[in-house]
């Protein structure tokens, strides 16, 4: 297995496990559903539009967008387990579907959606230029892409935040906000405004995961070990991440870009 395949496999496995779901909560990203709503507002979603949710996880965002904004949503996720769970969770909702897919090879036609959302996932894509090009490809002219993601100063990241565990935790290959903007610009997308910083969101999520990790250590250590979660290593990553946020090395940002009409 190549390094790229290993990263994708580990991410897909980790983000479909019950234990990780417990650690992360309902929304698998900093800021939770409140930040998802804010992102959707910046996309100016309108009833009847087609939206693509990339790395859709358990389907929480897709459900919110459909019920709250009247759009139809297609969720794409690497994990068959996540896709099955998300499909079951929205069985009562028309206009929502999920399928297994890779952000670097989206199973969608050209210019087929009005908006794309991608929450705390772009930083984990091994081939970011290809993923950016794919996100641009499926957008209709005038369509918008909204990203919320971990930001980092790569040269200042401590060693604890550069390994595979940190990659799965959305840290190891995170970029500065300007780096994401440049990747999206390289795909022909135009920034709608300045990047918004939401560093407090990632700080709160680190604290939340830390508290839940301590509970796992007390009540579910055997299950954690069965799933391959090294509690000591996870604690080291969280401690390093908390310090990196305090030092301004790690943060969280929101970007909205648009595909030019002409």
Please choose, from the candidates 110, 137, 117, the residue with its C-alpha nearest in 3D space to the C-alpha of residue 256. 117
pLDDT at res. 11: 47
What DSSP character marks residue 163?
Answer: S
- Give the integer Cα–Cα distance in Å for 78 and 71: 23
Q: Residues 170, 164: contact at Cβ < 8 Å?
A: no
Q: Tell me the average pLDDT across 37-64.
A: 96
Strands 96-100 and 190-191: unpaired
> Can you give the pLDDT at residue 1?
38
Residue 219 has pLDDT above 90, yes or no: no
pLDDT at 224: 65
Alpha carbon dihedral 28, 33, 38, 43, in 10-degree steps, equals 60
Average pLDDT, the chain: 85
- Token pair 């929502």 is at which residue? 96
Domain housing 56: 3-258
**Which residues have C-beta within 8 Å of that of residue 228, sequence separation ≥ 6?**
none
Give the model's pLDDT for residue 238. Answer: 84
Q: Name the more confident of 247 and 218.
A: 247
Instruction: Tell me if residue 202 falls in helix, strand or coil.
Output: helix
DSSP letter, residue 59: S
More confident call, 156 vs 19: 156
pLDDT in tens, 123-172: 889 899 999 999 999 999 999 999 999 999 988 888 777 765 554 556 76
Mean pLDDT of the 42-62 span: 95
pLDDT given at position 130: 97
Task: Summarize pLDDT for 224-241 with one digit per residue, the tens.
Answer: 666 566 667 777 888 888
What gap in Å lies between CA 1 and CA 246, rounded to an integer? 36
2: which residues sit within 8 A by CB, 6+ positions away?
none
In SS3 terms, 171-187 reads as: CCCCECHHHHHHHHHHC
Domain CATH for 140? 3.40.50.150
The whole-number pLDDT of residue 184 equals 97
- Residue from 42, 186, 43, 24 nearest 121 by CA: 24
CA atoms within 13 A on the CB side of 1: 8
The pLDDT value recorded for residue 207 is 85
Higher pLDDT, 189 or 13: 189
* Contact between 36 and 27 (Cβ < 8 Å): yes
Contact 202, 245 (CB under 8 A): yes
Of 252, 40, 262, whose CA–CA distance to 145 is shortest? 40
DSSP string computed for 99-151: EE-BTTB-SS-TT-EEEEEEES-GGG-SSHHHHHHHHHHHEEEEEEEEEEEEE
Q: Output Rg (C-alpha) for the chain, integer angstroms.
A: 17
**pLDDT reported for residue 209:** 80
Q: In the predicted model, is pLDDT for residue 247 greater than 80?
A: yes
Task: Report the number of distinct structural domains present in the chain.
Answer: 1
């Amino acid at each position: 297995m190549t390094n790229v395949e290993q990263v994708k496999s580990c991410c897909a496995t980790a983000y479909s496990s019950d234990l990780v779901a417990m650690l992360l909560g309902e929304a698998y990203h900093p800021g939770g559903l409140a930040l998802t709503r804010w992102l959707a507002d910046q996309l100016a979603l309108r009833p009847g539009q087609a939206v693509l949710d990339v790395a859709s996880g358990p389907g929480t965002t897709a459900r919110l967008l459909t019920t709250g904004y009247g759009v139809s949503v297609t969720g794409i996720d690497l994990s068959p387990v996540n896709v099955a769970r998300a499909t079951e969770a929205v069985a009562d909702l028309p206009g929502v579907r999920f399928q297994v897919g890779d952000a670097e090879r989206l199973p969608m036609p050209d210019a087929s959606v009005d908006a794309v959302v991608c929450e705390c996932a772009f930083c984990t894509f091994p081939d970011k230029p290809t993923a950016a090009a794919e996100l641009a490809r499926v957008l209709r002219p005038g369509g918008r892409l909204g990203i919320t993601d971990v930001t980092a100063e790569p040269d200042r990241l401590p060693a604890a935040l550069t390994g595979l565990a940190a990659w799965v935790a959305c840290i190891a290959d995170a970029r500065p906000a300007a780096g994401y903007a440049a990747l999206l610009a390289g795909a022909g997308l135009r920034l709608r405004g300045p990047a918004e910083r939401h560093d407090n969101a990632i700080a709160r999520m680190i604290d939340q995961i830390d508290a839940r990790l301590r509970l796992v250590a007390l009540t579910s250590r055997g299950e954690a070990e069965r799933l391959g979660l090294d509690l000591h290593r996870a604690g080291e990553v969280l401690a390093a991440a908390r310090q990196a946020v305090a030092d301004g090395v790690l943060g969280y940002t929101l970007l909205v870009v648009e595909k030019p009409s002409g």
